[in-house]
Structure 1
Amino acid sequence: MTDELAIHGIECFAHHGVFDFERREGQVFVVDLVLGLDTAPAARSGELKDTVHYGTLVEAVKSAVERDPVDLVETVAQRIADVCLEDRRVEWARITLHKPDAPIEATFRDVALTITRTRGPADD
């Protein structure tokens, strides 16, 4: 059985993008996470050590987004997935990376990429 832990709306400021002005000026990115994990051990023990510490995870995700500028949101989303899957208890991670201020010459609300990554057999 897999439970889901969701964290929505993690705001980050970073300098990703294809255009020079994106790299120079930076912009807000917003991250939504959904993690698949078994929460039963933590429910039984009542101990934080038996689950994913989402406070620490958010700090690591924010750091991953805000460092080392890259061109594509695909690269940033994969970086976030890698951070989430570092914890062996996380079986899969669904990441949505929002770029609400993407340089598009049209009225729009959001640009968002959603990826899902699972722990491979070699990762166990």
Structure 2
Amino acid sequence: MSSPSSSPLTSPVGTTRRPVADRLAVRGLRFRGHHGVLDHEKRDGQDFLVDLVLLLDTRPAAQTDDLQDTVDYGSLVEQVRAVVEGDPVDLIETLAQRIADVCLTKPAVVEVEVTVHKPHAPIQATFEDVALTINRSLE
């Protein structure tokens, strides 16, 4: 009896393996935005914190030592800044999606986790943070 053949995406026993997905994280980005449902939120603005976790295969960049083979996170941060400091939206769900869309335009990125923190949300209670985390992929 012969053993099943292996491919890069299957294990020797024929089960599917997860493709390589390294994680590049940029956490605690702080930008001032004018997002929210209430008039004063759009008028006065508030700080938003953003955490990004990008899934990508870093082996090409490790082999070439070339920034073109990975994500230029300095440039990406400036694009995320433009989203947060740009056109106001009502919901952090919309803001998080716009940030994810920017991240997924990077050729190396196959999946992204975006967390948007709104630590000064207009809640009539003592609280530490309001945060939304979304996961988006090219698939």
TM-score, normalising length: structure 2: 0.85
In structure 1, the gaps of 5 or more residues are: none
Task: Tell me whether 1:38 sits opposite 2:66 in the alignment.
Answer: no
- 2:109 is aligned to 90
- 1:76 is aligned to 95
Task: Tell me whether 1:50 sits opposite 2:72 in the alignment.
Answer: no
In the TM superposition, residue 96 of structure 1 has moved relative to its aligned partner by 0.3
Runs of 4+ in 1 over 6 A off after TM superposition: none
Distance 1:70 1:57 in 2: 21
Select the structure of larger CA radius of gyration.
2
Structure 2 counterpart of 1:3, which letter? D
Distance 1:10 1:78 in 2: 16
- 2:23 is aligned to 4
Distance 1:49 1:118 in 2: 21
In the TM superposition, residue 36 of structure 1 has moved relative to its aligned partner by 0.3
Equivalence map 1:104-115=2 (5 Å): 104-115=123-134
Other structure's SS at 1:105 match: coil
Cα deviation, 1:42-95, whole Å, max 9, x if unaligned, reads: 000111111100000000011111111010000000000000000121000000
In structure 2, the gaps of 5 or more residues are: 1-19
Cα deviation, 1:15-66, whole Å, max 9, x if unaligned, reads: 0000000010000000000000000000001111111000000000111111
Distance 1:16 1:65 in 2: 8
Other structure's SS at 1:52 match: coil
Structure 2 counterpart of 1:28, which letter? D
Task: Tell me whether 1:24 sits opposite 2:43 in the alignment.
Answer: yes
Percent identity between the aligned chains?
59
In the TM superposition, residue 114 of structure 1 has moved relative to its aligned partner by 0.1
Other structure's SS at 1:68 match: coil
The number of residues matched between the two structures is 120
